[in-house]
Homo-oligomer: A and B are copies of this chain.
Amino acid sequence: MEALKEAIRRHGRHLGNGIIKVDAFLNHQIDPALIAACGQELARRFRHLGPTKVLTAEISGIGPALMTAYALGVPLVFARKHKPLTMGDDVFFAAAPSHTKGGDVTLLVAADYLRAGDRVLIIDDFLATGATILALARLAQAAGAQVIGIGAVIEKRFEGGRDRLRALNVPVESLAVVIGVESEQILLE
């Protein structure tokens, strides 16, 4: 997606250790028209697989996943990292090692919102090591649902997530691919 690549070139910054800052349009401030276009493009790539639900992880996945779900006309479920008061006890959970914080993050989804028979499209802002996306896939599998595809706005190919997702045997799509970083420079495919 050219508009996305242009936004990365213009606003993206490499902070070191492979951490890419795109707070200007995706992770803190959101450019709604750009992220809606990303959602429409992800929807276009997965619509033929008949997804019935989009699944993401709070927080930064919510924007692009909501726009994808809106374009597909299906509900979005965002996995929680902390159990809110409103969440009952019938909950699926999966642990994912946290890239940026260290330690594990636990993702939770109430059993009411993921069902056997659901065809789940996983959407996230980044595909990096793949750990968060694999945890989301385990949540879907715990519910007896089928993962039918994985989409990310930005893939950091140098972190190897795509290889780790291969075992899921579903299509993996990303809208912009970062192939490497050199000091402050972000190298796009």
Contact = CB atoms under 8 A, between A and B. Distances in A.
A28 B78 contact: yes
A152 to B, nearest CB: 17
Given A15-B86, A100-B85, A77 B113 contact: no
How many chain copies does the complex carry? 2
Contact of A86 (B23, B58, B66, B69): B23
Interface residues of A, number: 39
A3 interface: no
Given A29-B75, A31-B75, A75-B29, A70 B112 contact: no
Interface in A71-113: 73-78, 80, 84-87, 100-101, 109-110, 112-113
Contacts of A109: 28
Given A23-B110, A59-B59, A110-B23, A32 B66 contact: yes
Interface secondary structure of A, over-half rule: mixed
Contact of A62 (B59, B84, B86): B59
Of the candidates A62, A74, A87, A109, the one having the most CB atoms from chain B within 10 angstroms of its own CB is A62
A70 B113 CA distance: 26
A52 interface: no
22 contacts: A15-B85, A19-B86, A21-B86, A23-B86, A23-B112, A23-B113, A28-B77, A28-B78, A28-B86, A30-B66, A30-B69, A30-B78, A31-B75, A32-B66, A32-B73, A33-B70, A35-B66, A58-B58, A58-B59, A59-B78, A66-B67, A84-B100
